[in-house]
Structure formats: C-alpha cells, structure tokens
Chain A
Amino acid sequence: MNWADWWATYSTLVLSVGVYGMMALSISLTLSCGLLTLANAAFMGIGAYVSAIATTTFDLPFSEALLLGTLGSTCVALLIGLPVLRLSGVYLAMATLGFGEVVRILLLNLDITGGPLGLNGIPSLTQWWHVLAALLGTVFLLQCLRLSRIGRAFEAIREDETAARLMGISTHPLKLLAFVTGASIAGLAGGLNAHYTFTLSPGNFGFENAVDILTMAVLGGIRGLPGPLLGGAIITLLPEVLRDLQEYRMAANGLILILVVLFLPQGLWDLPRIRGWFKRA
C-alpha cells in the first residue's frame, strides 16, 4: 500500500487520535484540580456545530469558523461555570451531565443545527498539520500552567481545598479558569473534528462520548501530560483493533475504567511506578 492509499484509509483515524488527545487533555485539566465535570463532550459539540454552521451556512473562512467555535464553547462555559462550580463531587458530575443532555436536546431540536438529521456536507478543511498545531498548542499551554503557581494551586485544591484556601488561594476563580480553559480546548477540538467527518449529528456528543473522554484521561493518568495523550490514542484506536467487538465497545470501555481504577489508580502514565519497574529489572 502506498502512502496516498494509506492516508486515504486512515486519515480520519489519525486525525481523531489528535483530536481526542486534546479532549483527554481538556478533561484532565479539570480533573487536575479535583473537579469531576462531564461537560467536555457537550463543549466539543458546541465547538463543532458553531464552526460547521459558520463554514456551511455563513461561508466564513475556516480559521474564523474555528475561532467562533472555540469562543462559543468558552462563553457557554463561563455562563454555566459560575453557578455550577459552587457544587462539588457527585453533585458537580450530575449537574454537568445534565448540562450535556440539555445541549444534546437543543442540537436535536433547533432548526439551525439540522435537527435529528444533523449537518451534512461539511467541507473537509482540516489538514493534519492543523490538528498537530492545535495539539502542540494545547500541550504547551497546559505545560506552562503546570509549571507555575496556577498549576501548583490546582494540585493543592485537588488534594485539600480547605487547606488551599487557608494558604490564601482563591479557589473559585481558579476552578473557573480550569473549567473554561478545558471548554476552549474542547471547542477547538470540536471545530477541527467537524471539518474532517463531513457530517455531525447530536448523538456524537452525548453521554457515551462524555464517558469515553473521561475513560481516556483516567486510563492514561493525569499525573503528566503524556497520560491523557496515551489514553486518548488507546481509546480511539481500540474499536479499530477490535473491529469484531464493535457492539461491546461501551462495555469494553466500562471494563477498562473499572480495571484501571482498581489496579492502576494513577493511570498508565505513572512515573514513580514506571521507575520502580526499571529499578527491579
């Protein structure tokens, strides 16, 4: 098989590895400050629909469409983040899950989103280097945050929010920052995703997708940036490898989630554990 044929067959898959790497990074950002939010799939959907409508209905250039998609999910995240981030734990997870459902139902019933049929004939504008650049940009941004007082504060909030506040850290604005930045990344990923899949339907961004994204981050681990990237790649490639087991995909992901939580609580990318292996060998 020559290069062109290979790319024709696998380009969607390769681009998806990058896009879902971004999604896993976006949820790892909120997880890194101890917030279990399940709205990332919905933010991806908002970014995807806004940018696809921009290129199809309004004939805007791709760059502007991506920008609009990113801004769209960012603004929505600001609006819902303000009230919702007062919650924590299971209540926060439920509230964000509920928000995801609201988005899905809106996409299903609005005229501009094409209702249940979704959007079709979206131009194929996403190039491999667009995805690579967005992914590298995301990694750079998150790495800058990690190596600053903000990253340390995120970690402190995750470990003991009360102690963090007693160190003078204003936890609410920082949580909002994590949530909104995660939503921006998801919105951009959505915009990129829409312009290589040709079609969008509301079902692409529902509960199932939210759980997939969470599984990616938990499987890879959130102790470092390679973790979510690894998890994103594995969960994206798994259905291709296990083609015959398509129907059991959700079950397989659920099983992975359980096994990881039980046996690899820090995920696959757990440096102290990896160093331990090498020492023993």
Chain B
Amino acid sequence: MPELLNLTGMSLEFGGVRALDQVSLSVHTGQIYGLIGPNGAGKTSLFNLITGLYRPSQGEIRFKGDSLLGIAPQHIAQRGIARTFQNIRLFAEMTLIDNVMVGMHTHLAYRFWDLLLRSRPFRHAEVQARKQALTLLERVGLSPYAHALAGTLSYGNQRKLEIARALAMQPQLLLLDEPVAGMNPTEKNDIQDLIRSLRAQHLSVLLIEHDMRFVMGLCDALTVLDFGRVIAQGSPQAIQENPAVIAAYLGEEVPHAE
C-alpha cells in the first residue's frame, strides 16, 4: 500500500520546552492508525503540526509525497486532510446541516455571478450539497436534528457532528482527536463501525484515543508517545506486550484489550 502521510524527525518546542522530540511515523492509504500515550504526551500537538497550526522546529511532513511545511492550514485542508478537535469546535450557532455544508465549501464550485443570478448551476449545486449533507448526518445518526443549532446537541452528538463535518470535506486523511471521549459504549460501537466503513472506502484515519479497548480493536498500527518521544511502534498485539509501553502506563490503566 502506498504511503499517504510521512512524518520524519518532527520536533516542536514551546518556549524551550520540547513538546515533541524526533517523532517519525507513516500512515498508508486505507489504514487506521492509532496514536496513543499519557496526558501531555504531545498527541494533539502532532495533529496541530500536520494541519499547519504549528510549525515544527525540525523535521519534515509529506502528504502524497509533497512537503506540507510552511503551507497555510486552509491549503493543507484543501489538499485532503480533515480533522476533528479534542475540545469540540463546532459552529455552535449554526444548524447541523449548515455546519456540514461549511465542510463542503471548497467543493461548491459555483461562481459569484451564479450566486447573484441564482442560476441553474448555483441552485443545482446547493440542492445537491444539502442532500449530501443530510446523507452524512444520517450516517452519523443525527439526521433528526438537521435543523437544530449545533450548540444544543449533547456532547457525544457534537463529536459525531464534527466527524460528519470533516467527512463533508471529502478528505483522503481524517485526523480524529479523541472521537469517542464522553460517549457511552453503544455510541462507541457505532463510531467504531463508522470508522471501519471509512476504511472500506479507502479513506485513511489517524486517531488519538485513550480508550484502549476501542483503539486495540480498531487500529491496524499504532504509535505510542510519551513526553514527546516515540516509545513504541507496531501492531496492537506488539504494543500491548511492549515493556516500555506498560511502564509508561504504569499507575494508569494498563492497555489490555479483548
């Protein structure tokens, strides 16, 4: 399988403090890749590097072979990387369907004149987009609330809406930052099924999650971060048996699945 995302020797500093130290990993097309590690290990910071919000002090990021260094966040997104946020960042005062349609912004290719004349291409594109948005909401189980404001949703449903909005961007790589935090077991299963169905569509997923059962049951490969450093990399099986990983998690829940 071809390499989709490739990070080599990524380091990040905050005022002299190393948040990430020489992190390397690669995600292949169609892979579900897990990123785990204790609190403050640098997982979210790595997402911020990939999406262009932070600049690394060292290292290289390649997506489909091209470097992403120095590229603005909106252009990285346009190249096919979508994400969700650990601390939910929805457009709270917009409806669910409008939130999802914001995700389609760059794919709605009508011109300014079409919009003013309300011409056929414009109306067609808007109607199609609205249908697609509804389909996506259905996929995450939120279609009954399509016209409610995003801010009125429960915590778990807000996370689902973030996933739908990210999928609306038709990305090739989806970054999920703790997608099932605060969800009940049934909801977690739904999300697991959803992510598997994405893999079947050849979408690649890089996900951060603390729920070990969820991660081990879903991911094809994993990287474990601790204090900004990669302490283990490999299959879920190998990770669970790795002594360094067990040591890092000592005092927390030891990663055991199934």
Contact = CB atoms under 8 A, between A and B. Distances in A.
A156 B116 contact: no
Given A165-B73, A168-B169, A150 B115 contact: yes
Contacts of B92: 159
Contacts of A145: 115
Contact of B91 (A163, A165, A171): A163
A152 B102 contact: yes
Chain B interface size, as a band, is: 20 to 34
Interface string A150-186: 1011011001101111111111000000000000000
Interface stretch (B11-19, B103-111, B179-187, B214-222): B103-111
A133 interface: no
Contacts of B90: 160, 163
B73 A144 contact: no
B84 to A, nearest CB: 10
Nearest to B83: A166
B106 A168 contact: yes
A141 interface: yes
B85 interface: yes
A2 interface: no
A148 B103 contact: no
A144 B91 contact: no
Interface string B82-94: 1101000111111
A275 interface: no
A280 interface: no
Given A144-B116, A150-B115, A155-B98, A166 B77 contact: yes
A169 B106 contact: yes
Contacts of B116: 141, 144
A161 B148 CA distance: 22
Given A141-B116, A149-B108, A159-B91, A169 B126 contact: no
A133 B108 CA distance: 31
Given A148-B110, A166-B73, 17 more contacts: A152-B94, A152-B98, A153-B105, A155-B93, A160-B91, A162-B89, A163-B85, A163-B90, A165-B73, A166-B77, A167-B74, A167-B82, A167-B165, A168-B75, A168-B78, A169-B105, A171-B74
Interface of A: 141, 144-145, 147-150, 152-153, 155-156, 159-160, 162-171
Closest 3 CB pairs of A and B: A168-B77, A168-B106, A163-B89
